[in-house]
């Protein structure tokens, strides 16, 4: 199968969705002539015109609000917030409007919109351009939250998100954009309710999200040489969460480590721990559950400090050995 980069897979999904449905349009800062801050919409402005690839002023609230309004009137907008940090400016539109309208109107109104946003650290972009805020939105009923970790998942999940009649927050890690992987040319969908086991193992379940998935897989390769087999589980969609594969994995391995880049305090790892503790898997645990997360500090600008603030491959290897032994 041919290989694409993660950003190419995103672009192909956008192109295929726009070609198939004239209601789909893109909107955001620099998504048009410039092609997007990270190149996700490159070439689409020339192909579809300014009416379907809409450049906006610097107003995240305006982008989110326009998406809500367009979705309510029958369109299927895909908005882009250049950096996830700035999604904070659109919280009223997302939390008080997009998430609640379908419920408040008894299902008679739908809000089929996607808001794409690059999150995460690793580019030296400092504290205001490097945050991982996904769990803010996981907490809100009515919003779906997706975090693909591979090019294959990125395309399939984005096409499903665009099809969905609910608002979807689609989080793309900046360091994943240049990663490559097999991606079918034809359109395909991955359900927004399907956790994926990325690697089968028997000694320790590692539930990882976004950029932490390839790091967990790297750690698993290193540990396999020492006879320690990690099972790496990727939720892909954080809300709604398909927790059954996670619970089955913990029952099999008897150990669990959750790895994510977001801060530990209030992070998604706590939800995974809670689900396992409430399930039958709790009785199978042979060691305390470990959360390996970003430090509870703003992301530093200094590259060495930036790397130290979030889990790296060596950290996963170290903590996995401690859990298994």
Annotated catalytic residues are 60, 129
Angle between helices 244-253 and 268-277 (to 10 degrees): 70
Cα–Cα distance measured from residue 87 to residue 30, given in angstroms and rounded to the nearest whole number? 16
CB neighbour list of residue 142: distance below 8 Å, 6 or more residues apart: 98, 99, 100, 102, 103, 166, 167
Dist CA 109 CA 166 (whole Å) = 10
How many whole angstroms separate alpha carbon 100 and alpha carbon 105?
9
Alpha-carbon distance of 175 to 147, in angstroms, equals 13
Q: What is the DSSP letter of 184?
A: -
**Residue 47: C-alpha distances to residues 15, 32, 51, 137, 171 (Å):** 9, 10, 11, 33, 25
Q: What are the angstrom distances between the C-alpha of 214 and each of 153, 175, 220, 224, 298?
A: 13, 11, 10, 15, 23
Q: How many whole angstroms separate alpha carbon 178 and alpha carbon 201? A: 28
Task: Specify the DSSP class assigned to residue 298.
Answer: P
In this structure, the strands spanning 237-239 and 144-146 are antiparallel
């Amino acid at each position: 199968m041919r290989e694409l980069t993660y950003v190419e897979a995103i672009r192909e999904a956008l192109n295929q969705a726009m070609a198939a449905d004239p209601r789909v349009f893109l909107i955001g800062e620099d998504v048009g002539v410039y092609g997007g801050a990270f190149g996700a919409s490159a070439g689409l402005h020339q192909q579809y015109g300014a009416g379907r690839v809409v450049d906006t002023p610097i107003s995240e609230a305006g982008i989110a609000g326009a998406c809500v309004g367009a979705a309510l009137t029958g369109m299927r907008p895909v908005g882009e917030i250049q950096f996830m940090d700035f999604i904070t400016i659109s919280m009223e539109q997302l939390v008080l409007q997009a998430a609640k309208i379908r419920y408040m109107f008894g299902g008679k109104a739908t809000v089929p919109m996607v808001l794409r946003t690059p999150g995460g650290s690793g580019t030296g972009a400092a504290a205001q351009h490097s945050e991982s805020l996904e769990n803010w939105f996981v907490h809100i009923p009515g919003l779906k939250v997706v975090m693909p970790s591979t090019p294959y998942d990125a395309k399939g999940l984005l096409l499903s998100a665009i099809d969905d009649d609910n608002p979807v927050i689609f989080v793309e890690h900046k360091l994943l954009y240049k990663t490559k992987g097999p991606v079918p040319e034809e359109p395909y969908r991955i359900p927004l309710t399907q956790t994926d086991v990325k690697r089968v193992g028997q000694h320790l379940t590692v539930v990882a999200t976004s950029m932490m998935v390839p790091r967990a897989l790297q750690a698993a390769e290193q540990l396999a040489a020492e006879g320690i087999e990690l099972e790496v589980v990727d939720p892909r969609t954080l809300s709604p969460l398909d927790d059954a594969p996670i619970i089955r994995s913990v029952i099999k391995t008897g150990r669990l480590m959750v790895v994510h880049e977001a801060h530990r305090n209030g992070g998604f790892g706590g939800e995974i721990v809670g689900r396992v503790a409430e399930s039958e898997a709790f009785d199978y645990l042979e060691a305390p559950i470990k959360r390996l997360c970003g430090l509870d500090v703003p992301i530093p600008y200094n590259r060495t400090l930036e790397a130290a603030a979030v889990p790296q491959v060596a950290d996963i290897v170290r903590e996995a050995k401690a859990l298994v032994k």
